[in-house]
Amino acid sequence: MILVTGGAGFIGSHLLLSQGEEPMIVVDDLSQGQRSSVVGANLIQATLLDAVRLRSIFETYPISAVFHLAARTEAGESVKDPFAFWQTNIVGTINLLQEMSRANISYVIFSSTAAVYGNPDQLPITEEHPLRPESPYGDTKLAAERLIHSWAHAYDGKFVILRYFNAAGADPEGRVGERHRPETHLIPKCLDVALGRESALIINGDDYDTRDGTCIRDFVHVLDLANAHSMALEYIRNGGSSTILNLGSERGYSVLEVVKEVERVTGRAIPYSFAPRREGDVESLFASSDRAKSLLGWNAQWKELNDILRTAWNWHLRLYS
Query: pLDDT category, 111, cuts 50, 70, 90?
Result: very high
Q: Is the pLDDT of residue 181 over 90?
A: no
Among this protein's residues, is 61 annotated catalytic?
no
Mean pLDDT, residues 144-153 taken together: 98
Residues in the chain: 321
Provide φ and ψ at 267, rounded to 5°: 70, 20
Task: Tell me how far apart the alpha carbons of residues 10 and 148 are, in angstroms, rounded to a whole number.
Answer: 23
pLDDT of 180 reads 78
In CATH, what number does 2-168+218-247 get? 3.40.50.720
How much is the average pLDDT of 155-172? 96
DSSP-derived secondary structure for 40-65: SSEEEE--TT-HHHHHHHHHHS---E
**The pLDDT value given to residue 235:** 98
Predicted confidence (pLDDT) per residue in 261-286, tens digit: 999 999 999 999 999 998 888 899 89
pLDDT of residue 304: 93
- Summary mean pLDDT of the chain: 95
- Active-site pick, 117, 137, 208, 253: 137
Domain assignments of the chain as residue spans, ordered by start: 2-168+218-247, 186-217+250-286+297-320
CATH code: domain 186-217+250-286+297-320 is 3.90.25.10
With the C-alpha atoms ordered 69, 75, 77, 82, is the resulting torsion angle positive or negative?
positive
Please give the average per-residue pLDDT across 303-307, as a whole number. 94
* pLDDT band for position 22 (cuts 50, 70, 90): confident
